[in-house]
Amino acid sequence: MPTYLERYLASEQEQVWDDLLALGAAMRDEPLYSERLSKNRTY
């Protein structure tokens, strides 16, 4: 299964954000937090 970053870079930005927002506070927990930061640092 591709990571959020891989999906984001594959032009699935809107879907990735929808998925992350649906996670709510859980997106601040590891390992999602590190992955989310890596996506933000890409741009």
pLDDT in tens, 15-43: 988 998 898 887 777 777 676 666 566 55
| pLDDT attached to residue 34 | 73
Burial 28-41 (b: 16+ CB within 10 A, else e): eeeebeebbeebee
> pLDDT band at 13, cuts 50/70/90?
very high
pLDDT at 38: 67
Q: How many domains does the chain have?
A: 1
Instruction: Note down the domain range covering 28.
Output: 4-42
The predicted pLDDT at position 23 comes to 85
Kindly tell me the number of DSSP H helices and DSSP E strands found in the chain. 3, 0
pTM, two decimal places: 0.60
What is residue 18's predicted lDDT score, i.e. its pLDDT? Answer: 94
